[in-house]
Structure 1
Amino acid sequence: MRELITSGSPWEAKIGYSRAVVVGDTIYISASAATGPDGKVVSPELYAQTKHVLGMLSGILDDAGFSIADVVQSRLYVSDFENWSEATRAHGEVFGDIRPAFALVHALPFIDPEILVEVELTAVRESL
């Protein structure tokens, strides 16, 4: 069974993707930026953007019946690579004891140049 999760973004229908897809006990969350309800980037700082998007994705996990502890892989796409350690500091604060597989990727500027990081997660819910 395949469940599509939407954020309500008009980009999802235009481009043909979902914010997240749940298949069985696995959730795949699309790369997501730190935007607020108004669609604007929440901060000009890499650390703050990373913390915000990780909190947002934690909410998506919770709503779908997963937890942050279920994350098995995370990917950070960082355009401000000069300050990459700010993104990894935020990541470490969230995932320090969980320690999922990890990728840090230097990205070209995103569509919106104010976006400094996007985060993508995969989580597997443990079967009882």
Structure 2
Amino acid sequence: MIHTLNMVWNPSEGIDLGFFLLRFYSLSWVLAFGLGWYVMKPIFMRENESVDSLDKLFLYTLVATMLGARLGHVIFYEPELFSNDAWSILLPIKTEPTLHFTGFAGLASHGAAIGIIITMFYIQRRV
């Protein structure tokens, strides 16, 4: 009976392509933004807005989401990176203790929300 309480939580991290691990988290980012653009395109067309303005809005939102999520994580959870390993804040590398590729890790959804809100104010003022 006691063995049923022992749960091994080791889910698959992604799809192993042999030379590359396609992580589910990365796939969900691509899927979310792809579906977002796909859903917004008919809305823009129905409202007689140009698809070029959707593309610009999409690009600004994508960059704001990624930068905001990364900076939000660093500011709220790893502020020591500003002094210890500043390169790893926006680049997918770590320089401490040695230089190695890590990929983008450490994203905060509340940082992304703040980044998107600031960007929407910027776009609204600009247009």
Q: If the length of structure 1 is used for normalisation, what is the TM-score?
A: 0.26
Task: Answer 1 or 2: higher relative contact order, Cα 8 Å, separation at least 6.
Answer: 1
Larger of the two Rg values belongs to structure: 2
Structure with the larger helix share: 2
Higher relative strand content: 1
TM-score w.r.t. length of structure 2: 0.26
